[in-house]
Amino acid sequence: MNSSDEDRRHREKMKKWKELQDKEVANKKISKGVLAVHTGAGKGKSTAAFGVALRMLGHGKKVVVVQFIKGAWLTGEREALKRFDDLVEWHSMGEGFTWDTQDKQRDIAACERGWSVAQEALKKEDVALVILDELNIALRYDYLSLDLVLSDLKSRPVMQHVIVTGRNAKAELIEAADMVTEMTPVKHHFDAGVKAQAGFEF
């Protein structure tokens, strides 16, 4: 086959593919707030959520971040999003991982305070995106009522998007979600002795 025939076949193939894609897109007519869950053992769940936050900010939309479990770490994403203080609220409500605190009642109290903040964000019509970072961990250990969380998520403003992150998402949350992404580890530099580094992990 000469290059001219190959180019023609490629154009025909891409034309058919475009027709299929255009038809698929044309069939999508619903506008609504999406409930997304980022779960799985792989890295990148929170990072992906903050990427969506950046996209929202690019459209001038308000974002609220509520972090569960994680303490008030100095992270690059938090420092970067501070520059959009007219559009971003950031709440680090945790006191560190459970193996750090070693105090279940303290962890529960911190998560309950975090959910109170989240409840307020989930009522605001002008908040386009709420990120509930590591909420799955709080739910996994029953630090929060799953029924309450699901009820509050369901009653949020119709156009508000929510992203829930953390390993081991509950089956009921997965069922309620519009989109679920599972991060699967294939290879990680940590296993080879490379430590967490500023700007790449935090």
Domains in the chain, ordered, with CATH? Answer: 32-184 (3.40.50.300)
User: Count of residues for the chain?
Assistant: 202
| Residue 140 predicted with pLDDT over 70 | yes
The answer on pLDDT for 71 being more than 70 is: no
Are 172 and 150 spatial neighbours (Cβ–Cβ below 8 Å)?
Answer: yes
Average pLDDT over residues 83-106: 79
User: Would you state the pLDDT for residue 189?
Assistant: 92
pLDDT above 90 coverage of the chain, percent: 70
At residue 45's C-alpha, the angle toward residues 43 and 50, to 5°, is 125
What is the mean predicted confidence (pLDDT) over 23-35? 88
CA dihedral sign of residues 55, 89, 118, 156 = negative
Q: Above 90 in pLDDT, residue 201? A: no
The dihedral over CA atoms of 138, 143, 146, 150, expressed in degrees to the nearest 10, equals -60
pTM of the predicted model, to two decimals?
0.88
Name the residue type at position 131: I
Is 60 exceeded by the pLDDT of residue 155? Answer: yes
Is residue 63 within 8 A of residue 87, CB to CB? The reply is yes
Say what percent of the chain tops pLDDT 70: 94
Q: What is the mean pLDDT of residues 135-142?
A: 96
24 or 178, which is more confident: 178
Q: What is the mean pLDDT of residues 115-123?
A: 98
Structure tokens at 119: 């409840």
Q: Model confidence at 135, in pLDDT bands (50, 70, 90)?
A: very high
- Is residue 71 within 8 A of residue 106, CB to CB? The reply is no
Going by the DSSP 8-state scheme, the letter that residue 33 receives in this structure is: -
